[in-house]
Amino acid sequence: MVDYLIIGAGGFIGAIARYAVATWIGQKWGRTFPLGTFVINVSGSFVIGLLMTLLTERFMANPLWRLLLVVGLLGAYTTFSTFEYETGKLFKDNELLLAGLNVVLSVFLGFVALKTGEVIAKML
């Protein structure tokens, strides 16, 4: 139960941070290009790489820190960071085909799923 509360606390902070960053960027530089989402995805990918290395390789921190910061905060801030981390792990483990498949299939099938959801919503 404690795990869920820790993840929820991190998620609460991450969701607010995502909204605040996206809103600030949109107000400052406009919304023609999804710059807010782009910055969130790139910054989240950087932070997950930094934190996972620090928490699991350098300091061997209590696993609750990973739940709070990575699963909760970054999970709510951006799921793209998790996608990048998992793809990077496949790459690091020399699973190049799986890493490539993860990238191509996630982007392609994600887009297909998006369009399918749109079509179904318009039929309702």
For the chain, the domains span 2-78
Token duo for residue 37: 């989402």
Amino acid of residue 84: E
User: Is residue 32 predicted with pLDDT exceeding 90?
Assistant: no
Compute CA distances 64 → 42, 55, 106, whole Å: 24, 10, 29
Residue 17 contacts residue 77 (beta carbons within 8 Å): yes
Please state the pTM of the whole predicted model.
0.78
Q: Could you tell me how far CA 101 lies from the centroid of its own chain?
A: 18
Residue 87 contacts residue 102 (beta carbons within 8 Å): yes
Check residue 4 and give its pLDDT: 98
35-53 vs 80-92: helix crossing angle, rounded to 10: 50
Q: How would you label 42-64 residue by residue, b for 16+ Cβ within 10 Å and e otherwise? A: ebbbebbeebbeebeeeeeeeee
Average pLDDT over residues 75-84: 87
Average pLDDT over residues 51-61: 88
Check residue 80 and give its pLDDT: 85
